[in-house]
Structure formats: C-alpha cells, structure tokens
Copies of this chain bind each other. A is one copy, B any other.
Amino acid sequence: MRYELYYWSGIQGRGEYVRLALEDAGAEYVDVARERGDSALMPFLRGKHESALPFAPPFLKAGRLLIAQTATILAYLGPHLGLVPGGQAAEIYAQQLQLTIADFVVEIHDTHHPIAASLYYQKQRAAALKRAQIFRDERLPKFLEYFEDVIERGNGRTALSRHSYVDLSLFQLVSGLDYAFPNAMRKMQKHMPLLRALAERIAKRPNIAAYLASPRRIAFNEEGIFRRYRELDSVR
C-alpha cells in the first residue's frame, strides 16, 4: 500500500505523529503538500471527492479510504504497520493514550493561542502569559506524571506489551516540550525517568534516527504547536 499523507508543508504539527509512524515502519508514502504545495489539500477540505469529509488536516489516503483526525489515522495504521500489539485490550488502550496525547497537544497549543488560533500571538500575549504559567505549574506535571505512571505500570514500556505508535507520539511530545519549555522540562526531569528513557530509545531506532537526520524532518519553528517563546517558559 502506498499511503498519501496530506498535511501543511511548513510545520510538524499534528501531521508529525503520522509521519513518525510511517517512517518508523518504513512504509511507502507521499507527503503530498511537501511535493505539490499546500493547495493540494484544498479540494478535500472543500469536499470535491467521494469519501469521508475531513474537518482539517492531517488526513490520509489509504486506497479508497480517506481518514482524518490524527488518532483515527494511527488507530487504522497501527495494525497495518505492526505499530500496536495484537488484541482488543491493547488496541483500545493505545487509542485511549493517543487521545490523551491529543488533549495535551491542544493545551500545549493554547498556551500561545488562548483566545483564538486566528489571532496573532501578540494580540493575545497577556492571556498567553497567564495560561502558560498555569500550564507549567499544573497541567504539564499532571500530564507528564500520568504518562510516567502509565509506563511504570507497563514495566518499562507504555503499558502496552511492546512498541507502538503511542511510544512514537510520546517521543514527539517530549521532543516538542524540550524545544518549547526547556526550563519547565528541566524542573520535570527527575519526575519522568521512564518517559525520558523511552524518548531516547525511540530516537535511536534506526528508521527514526535516519528520519530525524533527513530533510524530511521539518525543524521546530514558531508556526507550529511547540513554540519557543521565552516569556512563556520563565521559571519563578
């Protein structure tokens, strides 16, 4: 199967969770907008096609299926790419964890855009400072300690019995948070040894290491979800 991934060409964003799964599995895929430009997404967003209507990118074409929503794409790809352990309980748990990652990603994004995604950061800076402070003090520890507990319960892996797309997404989370909130992450360091070890292990997987070193990996930047605005990461 040759997959077609549709996502904005200039950011890692939510598309990156899908890219990491495709890359780790060595799947054959085209990152369509990076080859043909972002306008290639538009006909699907406008519904000029037969199958499911996406609300937003990323979406994946897999044969006749068009699948939107990051977690749904990963739930589909998991069994096909060997990225989820077999059995209903593991598939359900993987999906539950992926949706919790998705919730966390919304909260990370909203630290810099608490009022509206359509407004410039500078227009919502005061609210962002407040939201980011509570995010660093309450939400970041709550989510990271939750995932640490999940791994601990699973005896060193993600409570799933073996490697999965959840591990890849947790790697992306840790990488992005290291970029955007280096000070807050330093404070978290001693509370997340298993999560840190997982992220380091994933970075060394041959296909992931090759991907991260390639031009296919877009650098973190201030158009994406993880943004390095120093004032949102001040340690008191």
Residues of A bordering B, CB below 8 Å: 47, 51-55, 64-65, 67-69, 71-72, 75-76, 88-89, 92-93, 95-96, 99-100, 102-103, 106, 110, 114-116, 118-119, 124, 127, 130-131, 134-135, 138-139, 143, 146, 149-150, 153, 159
Q: Which of B95, B102, B115 contacts A114 (CB 8 A)?
A: B115
Residue in contact with A115 in the complex, picked from B52, B134, B150, CB distance below 8 Å: B134
Each complex incorporates copies of this chain amounting to 2
A114 B127 Cβ-Cβ under 8 A: yes
Residues of B within 8 A of A135 (CB): 116
Q: Across the interface, which residues of B come within 8 angstroms of A134, CB to CB?
A: 115-116, 118-119
Given contacts A72-B96, A95-B69, contact A53 B150 (CB under 8 A): yes
Q: Would you mind naming 19 contact pairs between A and B with Cβ atoms under 8 Å apart?
A: A51-B89, A52-B89, A52-B92, A52-B93, A52-B96, A53-B150, A54-B96, A55-B100, A55-B146, A64-B89, A68-B100, A69-B96, A69-B99, A71-B99, A72-B95, A106-B106, A110-B110, A116-B135, A127-B127
Contact for A47 among B72, B114, B127, B149, CB less than 8 A = B149
A102 shortest CB reach to chain B, Å: 8
What is the minimal beta-carbon distance from A15 to any residue of chain B, in angstroms? 15
